[in-house]
């Protein structure tokens, strides 16, 4: 093919180089290392330290097959129990999150409702997302602590255990914080999707006598399905990595009864000593996340709109 | 309209952010009070303006011109700036700055960061000169090449150290008999009680009489029952009595990489379960907001087990009605100041203790020696610290001088608690009680037992949970 026009394509690649260099050093290499360590019997004795023999407390017994994975699933890793806790915590936050986000997004974009002071409300609902998760966690911890301000209101002066001492109370608080932090973000995403829908569809539906409920289920939902799928799956991926909020509520052992212990808490507890075990758990999270990622792409492509969204990290 | 919206949105954002920040601020009031406390104490240290010692200013600096100190709170920093800095050897310090690297102790965070730094010391341009270690993990650093020989390398002599308690030296002496660190405090434990409640329930508040009522656990429980009748908790939470047992164990947590739960630890579990079920404690965990709230004079908690550092660092700031940062003074009439008393309690024990160690690769040896001499051996400075900070310093001569001089502690209503502490300090023996893994074992064990105390499962469930958590934290250990 004869080249007559100037190609700017190479500049795209050149500008991408910094990203790939940084990605390789800070993400790809550790990722490969994690896979490597997950098959190695490798741990660190943190009960000793040395300046002149810095690696003297590392025990590396070489390849050990799937022993780390076995330990993670059936032994002290408690993989499936922690995965269950993580998913439950995520669901408690996500269900109200998607409900309120849809409701608010529909209200904000409704052509007949024309809500006033939208900018104000949009700012307000987004605000909790800006506050650090740990700050919110700490705040709720001191509110609900046994005989704390809210616990007293809820009858903490009786002998009843405080909310944070019960499994579902603690889960509820952590889920509520996640909901509060992320519903604003989701609302904005869904609003963008709804505003992308041709308003003439709504107008004609109204002329045909469709009720708001009908337009919602028959027009809005089918047309924002790809974005909904995107929200769902990015939130799931973020939810799998949930750590800071439940840690502030329940400590890294997941009090009560370890029912608040998420996968990342196990990783955080063991990362300085049980390297092989933690590597195995990380690899399993990676696999689950990868499957979810492929699902996103598939759902979006199936829609036929041809629009591919770049996956970006989201939480909640 | 658009303008109004922007103003509204903006102001709301500020309000919301402010309330969030306020929320966190109050929930963490102890540390901020402690900061204020130390800021107040540090006023004589004006020449050492902290901005001179920011890390960014030290980048590329000559390491011999910077004394780097690693620690986990500002206890040592405030002592250093108030008692050492004014009396430092100015010739030694000519042109030399100091830098404190403060890393929180919780969840082994301090040990992890310190270890990372130590591992690269051999090649780093910027050398650590001093790091602090706590009783819970002192042995880890004693047994390594990371700590410098106090006598052989740094140059302190037996004569310098003669007034220190022997146990503080024994802990820091390695298998070859080399001393690896020195301390400015001895940490005998006492029971500090609310005198108003004592008068109300027992009818008297004199320490000798109260001690007679609390001299063993059976009597202690009898008083707890009386307190309960008046809606007062005997102790605040689960972990308050922990050190009475954990520091009287027959063997350390870990021996030959094997974890054992000592009978004394089990005794703590049984006792705390009983007390929780009987409503003798307020179900708090150590350091949490509610635990602190009980230290107010009307906090509905009779007493706290504390070591010497517990008074200045915890009880005093927590019991003031108007905190120092709000302009309150440390004087009688401000909350619980002057309304607490100390007695020996049912069980002799110790709690904590901080040692100063020189790093093996230190490059300011003479300054480190000067710091160690003045901060742990100098009788006058030690006496000043005890007077000024209510700390029990590690110098028998200084303490004796204070007692002979008619020492009175205003916070304890004029009581001379040094005599009590001296008695307790003489009894401390840490032989075969400590291991390098104690911090993780203590934290994980207390955390796991909370389920059992609250009635969420059996003791065996809690032990199983402890085993899982502690072996994740220390993978080389088994149980």
| pLDDT tier at A152, thresholds 50, 70, 90 | confident
Residues 6+ apart with CB under 8 A from B144: A48, A49, A50, A51
Q: Is the peptide bond before B166 cis (omega within 30 degrees of 0)?
A: no
C-alpha–C-alpha distance, residues A26 and A37, integer Å? 17
Query: Given CB atoms, is A53 within the 8 Å cutoff of chain B?
Result: yes
pLDDT at site B122: 86
Query: B284-308, pLDDT tens digit by residue?
Result: 888 888 899 999 999 999 999 999 8
d(CA B325, CA B321): 11
The answer to whether B290 contacts A135, with C-beta atoms less than 8 Å apart, is: no
Q: Please report the DSSP string for A215-277 in residue order.
A: HIIIIIHHHTHHHHHHHHHHHHHHHHT--HHHHHHHTTTTSSTTTT--HHHHHHHHTTT-HHH
Chain A: residue whose CA lies nearest to B148? A51
Q: What are phi and psi of B250, to 5 degrees?
A: -90, -20
Residues 6+ apart with CB under 8 A from A81: A258, A261
Which residues 142-171 of chain A have a CB within 8 Å of chain B? Answer: 142, 145-148, 161, 165
- The proportion of chain B whose per-residue pLDDT surpasses 70, expressed as a percent, equals 87
| A119 → chain B, closest CA residue | B5
pLDDT digits (tens, 9 = 90+) for A33-50: 999 999 999 999 988 888
Chain A residues whose CB is inside 8 A of the B21 CB are 135
Put simply, the answer to whether B12 touches A270 (Cβ < 8 Å) is no
Instruction: Give the minimum alpha-carbon distance from B289 to chain A in angstroms, rounded to a whole number.
Output: 7
Share of chain A above pLDDT 90, in %: 50
Contact at CB, A45 and B474, closer than 8 angstroms: yes
Q: Is A127 on the interface with B (CB under 8 A)?
A: yes
Strand B66-71 to B97-102 pairing: parallel
CA–CA min distance A273, chain B (Å): 5
Min CA distance, A160 vs chain B (Å)?
11
Q: Check residue A117 and give left, alpha or beta (phi > 0: left; psi -120 to 50: alpha).
A: left
Provide the pLDDT for residue A294: 87
How close B413 gets to chain A, by Cα (Å)? 30
pLDDT at A297 over 60: yes
Nearest in space to A139 (alpha carbons), one of A244, A241, A240: A244
What CATH class does B49-186+352-405 carry? alpha beta
pLDDT value, residue B3: 59
Q: How confident is the model at residue B41 (pLDDT cuts 50, 70, 90)?
A: very low
Q: Which of B13, B114, B475 sits opposite A123 (nearest CB)?
A: B13
Task: Give per-residue pLDDT as tens, B161-201.
Answer: 999 999 999 999 998 999 999 999 999 999 999 999 999 99
Among A42, A78, A249, A253, most B C-beta atoms within 10 A, so best to mutate, is A253
Contact state of B12 with A50 under an 8 Å Cβ cutoff: no
The reply to whether B189-349+429-473 shares the fold of B49-186+352-405 is yes
Q: In Å, how far is A257's CA from the nearest CA of chain B? A: 6
Residue B21: the pLDDT is 41
Domains, in order of start, for chain A = 69-302 (1.10.3720.10)
The residues in A 4-43 lying below 8 A from B, measured between CB atoms, are 43
**B66: three-class secondary structure by DSSP:** strand
CA distances from B66 to A230, B109, B130, B369 (A): 53, 24, 11, 15
Mean pLDDT of B205-213: 93
Predicted complex ipTM? 0.85
Q: Where are the beta strands (DSSP E) in B89-188?
A: 97-102, 130-134
Indicate if the pLDDT at residue A310 is higher than 50: no
Can you spell out the DSSP letters for A86-142? HHHHHHHHHHHHHHHHHHHHHHHH-TTT--SSHHHHHHHHHHHHHS-HHHHHHHHHH
Q: How far apart are CA B272 and CA B444, in angstroms?
A: 16
pLDDT of residue A159: 62
Q: How confident is the model at residue B57 (pLDDT cuts 50, 70, 90)?
A: low
Answer positive or negative: Cα dihedral of A246, A247, A252, A257.
negative
CA distances from A141 to A165, A178, B289 (A): 11, 14, 10
Q: How far apart are CA B380 and CA B373, in angstroms?
A: 12
Q: Quick check: B191 and B301 in contact, CB under 8 A?
A: no
- Searching chain B, which residue's CA lies closest to the CA of residue A151? B290
Best of B465, B472, B478 to disrupt the A interface (most A CBs within 10 Å) is: B472
For the residues B397-414, what does the mean pLDDT come to?
A: 90
Number of residues that make up chain B: 479
Mean pLDDT of A282-296: 90
Contact A255 B450 (CB under 8 A): yes
Answer yes or no: do B5 and A46 touch at CB < 8 A. Answer: no
Chain B residues with CB under 8 Å of A124 CB are: 9, 12, 16
Phi, psi of B28 (to 5 degrees): -115, 30
Number of A/B CB contacts below 8 angstroms equals 159
Residue A183 has a pLDDT of 93
Task: Determine the average pLDDT of the residues in A289-299.
Answer: 83
Contact B55, B103 (CB under 8 A): no
Contact B234, B281 (CB under 8 A): yes
CATH number of B189-349+429-473: 3.40.190.10
- The per-residue pLDDT for range B315-355, each reduced to its tens digit, is 999 999 888 888 888 888 888 899 999 999 998 898 988 99
| Contact state of A120 with B17 under an 8 Å Cβ cutoff | no
Nearest by CB to B115, from A43, A49, A146: name it. Answer: A49
Nearest to A269 among B21, B290, B473 (CB): B473
Query: Dihedral of CA B235/B240/B243/B246: which sign?
Result: positive
Q: What string of DSSP letters covers B195-250?
A: HHHHHHHTS---HHHHHHHSSSHHHHHHHHHHHHHTT-BSEEESGGGHHHHHTT-S
Chain A residues near residue B2 by CB distance under 8 angstroms: 119
Q: What's the mean pLDDT in A217-237? A: 89
Q: Each residue of B248-269: pLDDT tens digit?
A: 899 999 999 999 999 999 999 9
User: A54, B119: Cβ pair inside 8 Å?
Assistant: yes
Domain ranges (residues) in chain B: 2-40, 49-186+352-405, 189-349+429-473
Instruction: Give the span between the Cα atoms of B268 and B249, in whole angstroms.
Output: 11
Dihedral (CA of B143, B145, B147, B153) sign: positive
Q: Is a pLDDT exceeding 80 seen at residue B228?
A: yes
Distance from CA of B479 to the nearest CA of A (A): 12
B20–A135 C-beta distance less than 8 A: yes
User: Could you write out the three-class secondary structure of B412-470?
Assistant: CCCECHHHHHHHHHHHCCCCCCCCCCHHHHHHHHHHHHHHHHCCCCCHHHHHHHHHHHH
Half-sphere exposure at residue A236, Cβ-oriented, CA atoms within 13 angstroms? 19
Does A309 or B119 have the greater pLDDT score? B119
**Minimal CA separation from A269 to chain B, in Å:** 6
Composition of chain B by helix, strand, coil, percent to 5:
50, 15, 35
- Preferred mutation among B104, B138, B475, B478 to probe A, highest tally of A CBs within 10 A: B475
Q: Are strands B66-71 and B130-134 parallel, antiparallel or unpaired?
A: parallel
CA–CA dist B466, A181 (Å, integer): 32
């Amino acid at each position: 093919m004869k080249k007559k026009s100037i190609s700017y394509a190479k500049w795209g690649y050149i500008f991408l180089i910094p990203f790939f260099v940084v990605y390789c050093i800070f993400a790809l290499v550790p990722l490969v290392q994690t896979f490597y360590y997950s098959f190695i019997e490798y741990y660190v004795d943190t009960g000793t330290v040395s300046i002149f023999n810095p690696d003297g407390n590392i025990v590396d017994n070489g390849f050990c097959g799937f022993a780390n994975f076995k330990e993670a699933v059936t032994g002290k890793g408690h993989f499936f129990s922690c995965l269950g806790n993580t998913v439950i915590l995520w669901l408690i936050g996500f269900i109200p999150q998607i409900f309120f986000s849809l409701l608010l997004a529909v209200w904000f974009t409704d052509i007949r409702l024309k809500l006033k002071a939208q900018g104000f409300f949009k700012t307000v609902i987004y605000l909790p997302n800006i506050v650090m998760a740990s700050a919110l966690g700490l705040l709720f911890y001191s509110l609900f602590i046994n005989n704390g301000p809210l616990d007293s209101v809820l009858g903490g002066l009786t002998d009843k255990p405080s909310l944070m001492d019960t499994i579902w109370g603690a889960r509820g608080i952590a889920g509520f914080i996640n909901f509060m932090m992320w519903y604003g973000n989701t609302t904005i995403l869904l609003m963008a999707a709804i505003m992308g829908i041709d308003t003439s569809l709504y107008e004609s539906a109204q002329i045909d006598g469709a009720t708001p409920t009908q337009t919602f289920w028959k027009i809005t939902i089918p047309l924002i399905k790809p974005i909904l799928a995107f929200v769902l799956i990015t939130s799931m991926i973020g939810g799998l990595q949930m750590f800071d909020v439940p840690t502030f509520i329940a400590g890294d052992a997941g009090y009560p009864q370890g029912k608040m212990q998420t996968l990342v808490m196990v990783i955080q507890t063991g990362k300085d000593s049980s390297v092989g075990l933690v590597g195995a758990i990380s690899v399993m999270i990676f696999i689950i996340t990868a499957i979810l990622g492929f699902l996103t792409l598939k759902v979006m492509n199936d829609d036929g709109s041809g629009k591919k969204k770049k996956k970006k990290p989201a939480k909640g | 309209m658009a303008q109004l919206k922007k103003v509204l949105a903006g102001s709301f954002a500020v309000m919301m952010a402010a309330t969030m920040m306020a929320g966190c601020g109050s929930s963490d009031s102890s540390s901020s009070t402690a900061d204020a406390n130390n800021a107040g104490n540090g006023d004589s240290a004006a020449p050492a303006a902290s901005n001179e010692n920011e890390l960014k200013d030290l980048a590329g600096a000559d390491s011999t011109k910077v004394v780097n100190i690693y620690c986990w709170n500002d206890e040592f920093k405030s002592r250093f700036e108030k008692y050492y800095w004014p009396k430092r050897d100015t010739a030694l310090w000519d042109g030399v700055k100091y830098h404190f690297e403060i890393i929180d102790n919780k969840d082994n965070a301090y040990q992890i960061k310190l270890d990372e730094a130590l591992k690269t010391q051999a090649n780093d341009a910027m050398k650590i000169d001093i790091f602090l270690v706590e009783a819970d993990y002192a042995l880890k650093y004693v047994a390594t090449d990371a700590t410098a020989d106090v006598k052989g390398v740094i140059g302190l002599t037996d004569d310098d150290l003669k007034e220190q308690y022997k146990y503080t030296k024994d802990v820091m002496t390695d298998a070859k008999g080399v001393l690896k660190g020195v301390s400015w405090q001895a940490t005998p434990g006492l029971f500090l009680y609310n005198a108003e409640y004592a008068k109300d329930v027992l009818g008297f508040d004199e320490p000798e009489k109260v001690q007679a009522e609390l001299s063993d656990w059976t009597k202690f429980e009898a008083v707890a029952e009386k307190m309960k009748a008046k809606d007062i908790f005997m102790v605040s939470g689960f972990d308050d009595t922990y050190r009475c047992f954990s520091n009287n164990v027959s063997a350390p947590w870990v021996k030959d990489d094997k974890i054992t739960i000592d009978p004394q630890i089990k005794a703590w579990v049984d006792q705390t379960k009983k007390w929780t079920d009987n409503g003798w404690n307020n179900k708090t965990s150590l350091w949490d907001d509610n635990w602190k709230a009980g230290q107010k004079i009307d906090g509905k908690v009779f007493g706290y087990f504390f070591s010497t550092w517990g008074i200045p660092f915890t009880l005093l700031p927590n019991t003031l009605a108007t905190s120092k940062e709000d302009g309150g003074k440390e004087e009688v009439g401000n909350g619980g100041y002057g309304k607490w008393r100390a007695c020996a309690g049912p069980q002799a024990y110790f709690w904590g203790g901080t040692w100063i160690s020189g790093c093996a690769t230190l490059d300011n040896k003479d300054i480190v020696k000067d710091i160690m001499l003045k901060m742990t051996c100098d009788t006058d400075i030690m006496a000043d610290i005890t007077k000024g900070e209510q700390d029990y310093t590690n110098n028998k001569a200084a303490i004796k001088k204070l007692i002979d001089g008619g020492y009175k502690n205003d916070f304890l209503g004029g009581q001379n608690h040094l005599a009590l502490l001296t008695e307790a300090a003489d009894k401390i023996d840490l032989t075969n009680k400590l291991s390098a893994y104690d911090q993780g074992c203590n934290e994980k064990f207390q955390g796991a037992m909370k389920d059992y105390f609250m009635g969420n499962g059996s003791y065996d469930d809690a032990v199983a949970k402890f085993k899982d958590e502690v072996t994740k934290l220390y993978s080389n250990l088994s149980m």
